[in-house]
Structure 1
Amino acid sequence: MTIEGMNHFTVVSNDLERSKAFYMNILGLKEGYRPPFAFPGAWLYADNQAILHIMAGKPMPLNATGVIDHMAFTATNLQATVDCLKLHGIQFDLHRLKGLEIWQLFCHDPDGAKVELDFPASEPEPKS
C-alpha cells in the first residue's frame, strides 16, 4: 500500500447550517455532491475534491474519541481571512512558523473543532 494524499476530514455538528456557514462563508469551501445517506450532512469541496464531511442529526459525543488535535488547510489571502474572522467575531491566533516562516492561523469551528490555516511566507503581515 502507498498513501497518496489526504482524502477528507469528518466533523460532527450540532447545527448543520451553522457549520456550513462557517466552512463556506468564512473559509471559502463550496458545498457539492453528497451521496443520499440516511442522516443529514454535507460534503464541502476545495476545487473538485470533497475535503470536509459534516455529519449532523446525531448527538455530539460526550467523550470525544480519537486523538486528532486539529485539521489543517493550505490557504491564500491572509489579510482577507483575518478581516473575515474579525467581522464574524471569531477569535484566532496567528504566528509565523520558525524555520519555514509560513503564516499559521488557528481558530475553532462552531462546534469546537480546531482549524489551522497555513498561508505562504510571501504574504505580508496583516494590518490590524
Structure 2
Amino acid sequence: MLRLDHVTIDTRDAPAMIAFFENILGVKEGYRPPFPSRGHWLYLDDKPVIHLSLTERAHDFPPGIFNHVAFSLFEFEPALARIKAGGYRYEYRDIPDTDLGQVFIYGPEGVKIELQYKRPL
C-alpha cells in the first residue's frame, strides 16, 4: 500500500522551524541517523514525518516551489489557541460540499501548513 512517509524541508534556521512545528503540530525532535549532511527529524506518533535539512541561502524560497503539506486535526480549539499564541499568520477556508474546514498557517522561511478539521454541523 502506498502512503506518504515524510516531507523534507530545507531550512536556514532550524531552531525557528522546529519551534514552529512543535507548537503547531506537537511534533518532537528525535533520532536522526548520522548522515554526512546536517539536519533534524521531527516525530509524530513515533514516526519521523518531517525532515529538516540545513541549507544556506540568502532569501526565503519563492512561493509555489512547494505550496503546503496538510495534516488532519481532531481538536480544533486547542490548535487554534496554539496558533494564536505563537503569533503566526493564519487563514480559514471551508472545503465546499463537505463538513471540513481548513486553517492555513504561515511559518518561518515561507513554509505553509494546512490543518483540516471537522466543522460543527
Q: Tell me the TM-score normalized by structure 2.
A: 0.85
State the shift of 1:103 in Å.
1.5
Structure 2 match to 1:8: 6
Structure 2 match to 1:17: 15
Q: Deviations over 1:45-102 (max 9, x none)?
A: 110221110011x2138666x8432111112211111111111211101122111221
Q: Distance in 1 between matches of 2:68 and 2:103?
A: 12
Structure 2 match to 1:60: 57
Structure 2 match to 1:36: 34
Q: Percent identity?
A: 30
Contact 2:23/2:86 (CA < 8 Å) preserved in 1? no
Structure 2 match to 1:82: 80
Letter in 2 for 1:53: H
State the shift of 1:39 in Å.
2.5
Q: Distance in 2 between matches of 1:61 and 1:113?
A: 16
SS of corresponding position for 1:81: helix
State the shift of 1:8 in Å.
0.7
- Structure number having the greater strand percentage: 2
Q: Tell me the TM-score normalized by structure 1.
A: 0.81
For structure 2, list consecutive stretches of 5 or more residues without a partner in the other structure. Answer: none
Q: Distance in 1 between matches of 2:118 and 2:57?
A: 35
Letter in 2 for 1:60: R
Q: What is the CA RMSD across the aligned residues, in angstroms? A: 2.3
- Structure number having the greater helix percentage: 2
For structure 1, list consecutive stretches of 5 or more residues without a partner in the other structure. Answer: none
